[in-house]
Amino acid sequence: IEELYKNQFFQDPSRVVIYPLHSSLSTAEQTAVFDVPPEGVRKIVVSTNIAETSITIEDVVFVVDAGRVKENRQDEVNQMPTLVECWVSRA
């Protein structure tokens, strides 16, 4: 989301509103994605793959999948499970 805000287009709230969507947000922050923006304002939801497949947002027109996921992997050095961000398999 920080990268989007570096572009001037995404800094104008009269043109676009950006919502993050992931499990560590509060309930109020998560439900904000269902708010319908004013006429002429584009809504962008930046979501995890789990949130993306778990809900339906009625006014979504396009979905862009970044192809990144967090997978459980075994940390061999520490002998502990860990979440690792990686590319989705094409298989």
Low-confidence ranges of the chain (pLDDT < 70): 50-52, 91
Q: State how far the alpha carbon of 90 is from the alpha carbons of 20, 43, 66, 67, 87, in Å.
A: 26, 29, 13, 9, 9
**Long-range contacts formed by 49-53: CB under 8 A, 24+ apart:** 49/88, 50/23, 51/21, 51/22, 51/23, 52/21
